[in-house]
Amino acid sequence: MTTGRRRTVHSDRNRTSSETNERSDEPTRRRLLAIAGATGLGAFAGCSTSVGTGSKSTLRIGTLRPPVTLDPISARALGSEQAIERVFDGLYAYGEGTDVVPKLAAGEPTFEDGERTFVVELDDDARFQNDRPVTAGDVVYSFTAPLEEDAPTAWRVNPFDSVEAVGERTVRFTLAAPFPGLDHALTHSIVPRDVREDDRAAFATEPVGSGPFEVASFSEETKVELRRWSDYWGNPKPAIEALTMAYVEFPMTQLTSLRTDRNDAIEPVSPLTVDHVSEVGNASVRRRRGYTSLYFGFNLNQGPTTDRRIRDAIGYCIDLDEAVADFVEPMGRRQYGPLPPQVARAWNMPVDEWAALAPPKDIDRARRLFDEVGKATGQIRVLTSMDPKHKEFGEALAGGLRDAGRGALVVSKPESVFLEKSVTGSERDYSVFVGEIAGTPDPDSHLYPTFHENMAGVTNGTFYRADAVMERLAAARTTRDREKRRKRYETAITRLLEDRVCLPICSFENSFAVAEDVRNFRVHPIARENPRVAAGEDVVTVGS
Amino acid sequence: MSEGDGGEGFGVATAVSLGVGGIVGGGIYAAIGIVVAAAGVLTWFAYSLATVVVLCCAYAYIKLNEATETNGGSVSYIEELTGRSTTAGVVGWTLVVGYVGTMAMYAYAFGMYGQMLVGLEYVWGLPVRQFISVGVVAAFVGLNLLGAGSSAAVERYLVFVQAGIIAAFGIVGLWFGATHYQLRLGFAELGLNPIIAASVGFVSFEGWQLLFYDQEQFENADETLAKGVFVSIPIAAAIYVLVGFVITTLLPEEVIAAQPEPALLYGALAISKWLALAVGIAGLVSTASAINSTMFSEALFAKTLIGDDILPDEMGEAGADAAPKRTVIVIGVLTAAFTALGSLEAVVEFASLAFIVVFGAMSALALTVRDQEAVDVNPVPPLVGVIGSAAFFVMLTWYLYSQLPAVFWLVVVIAAVVFAVEAMYFKRRTLSEGVREVEKRV
């Protein structure tokens, strides 16, 4: 295993260079190799090699996050949500920060009965891309379908007791209890009921939204091409004609794609390449602290990790401080609870206490615990997505398990398969998984979908069941009293950590590397809001 | 360069160049990440261990070459020394498929390096890696069909690109690691892992024995090849050991395990973008060169097997002057299919297993010629070769079964298909011979 030394090497920045490649014409293997070499030389050194987008009214982003579906009801992966947010509008939308402003809604909600019942009027101009007006019925459907379908987005809408159409363009929401996460819930995308119900499978690949972009083409796990909807009813209107988000497997390919003009931007920026974005990619890095974090989740439903001692032993197999320093910094940092550091700090959580609960690396202790449990058959399966960072943490844990004399198998699956397998609760699929939470400033977005039993098998792969924790997670959603919520969350999180339901790993900044000719590109702290190409006063432009 | 150009045979210098180029060319670019995944910081030790076994197997080859009249490789040795044509056939088929796997591995690495240097993942909705991999195989099939096969003269200079750049990376990386990091030998982590890793990366060392298929090109072949092989293996091994040591210093081993394909580029990039560029280009040149030389040698090898009735006549004309065209096409199609459909791990491990089996068999065969007066065989190296290969085979099989079950079953399926086809072919051949005998008598 690695030692704790840091491997971040800062190179000279802000240097670009170019080189011409003149090679002799020989009809031999050398000629072939020369062509390949010249291409690579251009890629690295700054030759004006261009294999990418010709038109500069387009923005192409190379992402490590593949899109899986374009249906807002069933979407769970960040790559999907980032595309969906461009195609669909919600009643409200995020501003430059985490505040919300009206979008499909004509104005602020009007409360009728204290904090529980309110009415939202729809903007008269709001239309879908098939030219049909957005109606109250569509809103009702969008807020009820996730629950009826037991969809991954159900946690966002289940605090609503009822959602009803009062008229063609008026919706009345009734909450079961005061809901502190209401602002975030009202950003939920609105879908056209008739189109989605007509053919849900088709809707997931060729959806109709009310947002500024419509889908030109979609290839699952590969690419989504969006084109500007010329009749967009809202403001601001995008300046770019097309937006493409294409999956890229390796950060190295991302980096060179900037140089060859294949991509205008890449995300996220890997710690392995961040120091070279300027000199190799001729681009600049835009970073903003966000609400995305990584954790090891244990399968408490089936298999060896149902035994607390095994979970403890696994915890002793990895030094996460060292791993985060090696794999993540400076693009993220260690966290000791399921809340990103800035959320934990804003809520005055006892981070030091949680840090004390983090198991130190102690292979001998792990081995003793494994022995105490008895001779195990089979291996500890560590399930990850194909994301390089996720795989790195999976490999690090597996290495520690093997050092402790326990067989370990890292199983890395494509995003769609990972999303399906990581919530089955079957030991054949995983004993441990590397999970990612992309939330908001509200702790509820990090905790309820990830750990509450209501979401088990949907977004929660741990299958943890402890009434005390579940009650607190649910109760914290029913009061606006911040201190009451804080205490409930603190108690629940402490118990989650003590029961070793998960091993928190780190938080990630939202980061993009953006080519010089991309202007007004700003990074939003909420991951799914990126890339924000049509928001605020200055929309994104590409080219001079 | 004078040797080889004026009608004389090639000398030791060319043999060493071809040997180093054949070994380093592609092997390290394709397989180092997988070796690191298995051995971690002890990658250098894993390569050292593999070197010992490979040198012993090479000793066996040299002695077998001295003990036989025919200029060939393992199949010729078995046929001439034991007369067991079926055993020779099994080894021959295993080698043919092993070479296909090796070329698929090179083509995979070429495609990956091409993709990473251009920054292109998909084109027209198709994955670029497969497109480039299949494209480069097709290009060299075309070159071989046009008669522009392996040129020793060119290879000799290409070695400086192939091995020189990666050796330079190792040396610069060593200096960089010494000044920026704490260099570690990792002896505290000694265990089974380096031995497993040695077997995982065994295919990285196979290139030297291609020389034996082309012996007529060399002056005083037995002696020249012996010197060439025994000099080129340690040189290549030194490069592997150095690079293995450096890469695990520059990068966390988990990063290499998670991203084996671009690992060398990340390591080089940590030092300089120019070094990364050089390594990237060297990767392209080396893997492409390795595809070409392996394809040419395998075609010649296959021609011999066709002549011996070990491979079906449908694969090509045994009487062709150079590489039979149909043989080249068949090999190219199989390689393209393998590289397009297989994962890096699958093709590397399959090829490694194939060469472990063949090298082990040759070491065992060398032990049987000890009593020949003409050849002086020290039994220790072949014995080490046999034991080492057997241990590697068991460990690699167990490693695949426990750590890469999907790859394990893929390898099992490939092996089963190969042996089934082989068994059917030999059975058919035996039947047809019987029919011909009956016809003669009638």
Taking only the tens place, the pLDDT of each residue in A415-447 is: 999 999 999 999 999 999 999 999 999 999 999
Chain mean pLDDT for chain A: 88
pLDDT of residue B430: 53
Range with the poorest average pLDDT among A113-122, A405-414, B213-222: B213-222
pLDDT of residue B431: 47
Asked if A29 and B140 come within 8 Å (Cβ–Cβ), the reply is: yes
* Structural tokens at position A175: 């909450």
* Structural tokens at position A314: 């696994």
pLDDT of residue B376: 79
Contact A451, A473 (CB under 8 A): yes
pLDDT of residue B8: 61
pLDDT of residue A46: 45
* CB nearest to A279's CB, from B140, B181, B273: B273
Banded model confidence at residue A234, pLDDT cuts 50, 70, 90: very high
pLDDT of residue B191: 65
Strands (E), A138-251: 160-165, 170-175, 213-219, 223-228, 242-247
Tens digits of per-residue pLDDT, A316-340? 999 999 999 999 999 999 999 999 9
Banded model confidence at residue A161, pLDDT cuts 50, 70, 90: very high
Is the dihedral angle over the CA atoms A474, A477, A482, A484 positive or is it negative?
negative
Distance CA B271, CA B181 (A): 12
Distance CA A527, CA A82 (A): 8
The angle at the Cα of B385, spanning B383 to B389, to the nearest 5 degrees, equals 125
pLDDT of residue A14: 33
Rounded percentage of chain A residues whose pLDDT exceeds 70: 89
pLDDT of residue B100: 87
pLDDT of residue B6: 43
* CB nearest to A250's CB, from B193, B262, B284: B262
By the CB < 8 Å criterion, does A35 face chain B?
A: no
Average pLDDT over residues A104-112: 94
Tens digits of per-residue pLDDT, A14-37? 333 332 233 333 334 434 444 444
* Structural tokens at position A72: 């807002």
Tens digits of per-residue pLDDT, A371-383? 888 766 668 999 9
DSSP for A31-84, please give it: HHHHHHHHHHHHHHHT-----S---TTEEEEEESS------TTT--SHHHHHHH
pLDDT of residue B317: 66
Banded model confidence at residue A524, pLDDT cuts 50, 70, 90: very high
Asked if B117 and A393 come within 8 Å (Cβ–Cβ), the reply is: no
Between positions 235 and 264 of B, the ones with CB within 8 A of A are 250-255, 257-259, 261-262
pLDDT of residue B440: 47
Asked if B288 and A62 come within 8 Å (Cβ–Cβ), the reply is: no
Between positions 407 and 426 of A, the ones with CB within 8 A of B are 407, 409
Range with the poorest average pLDDT among A185-199, A221-235, B126-140, B421-435: B421-435
Contact A419, A426 (CB under 8 A): no
**A43 pLDDT exceeds 60?**
no
pLDDT of residue A126: 96
Mutate to test the interface with B, among A11, A33, A39 (most CBs of B within 10 A): A33
* CB nearest to A39's CB, from B118, B273, B288: B118
Using a CB-CB distance cutoff of 8 angstroms, which residues of chain A are in contact with residue B281?
36-37, 40-41
Average pLDDT over residues A101-129: 93
Low-confidence residues of chain B: pLDDT under 50: 1-7, 431, 434-442
* CB nearest to A3's CB, from B143, B158, B184: B184
Distance CA B147, CA B12 (A): 26
Distance CA A20, CA A32 (A): 17
B102 Cβ partners below 8 Å, 6+ apart? B203, B206, B294, B351, B355
Between positions 248 and 267 of A, the ones with CB within 8 A of B are 248-260, 262-263
Banded model confidence at residue A135, pLDDT cuts 50, 70, 90: very high
pLDDT of residue B322: 58
Pairing status of strand A432-438 against strand A380-385: parallel
Is the dihedral angle over the CA atoms B389, B392, B396, B397 positive or is it negative?
positive
pLDDT of residue B169: 82
**A458 pLDDT exceeds 90?**
yes
* Structural tokens at position B132: 């480039």
Tens digits of per-residue pLDDT, B287-326? 888 888 788 778 777 777 777 777 776 666 666 665 677 7
Mutate to test the interface with B, among A256, A282, A377, A406 (most CBs of B within 10 A): A256
Asked if B277 and A62 come within 8 Å (Cβ–Cβ), the reply is: no
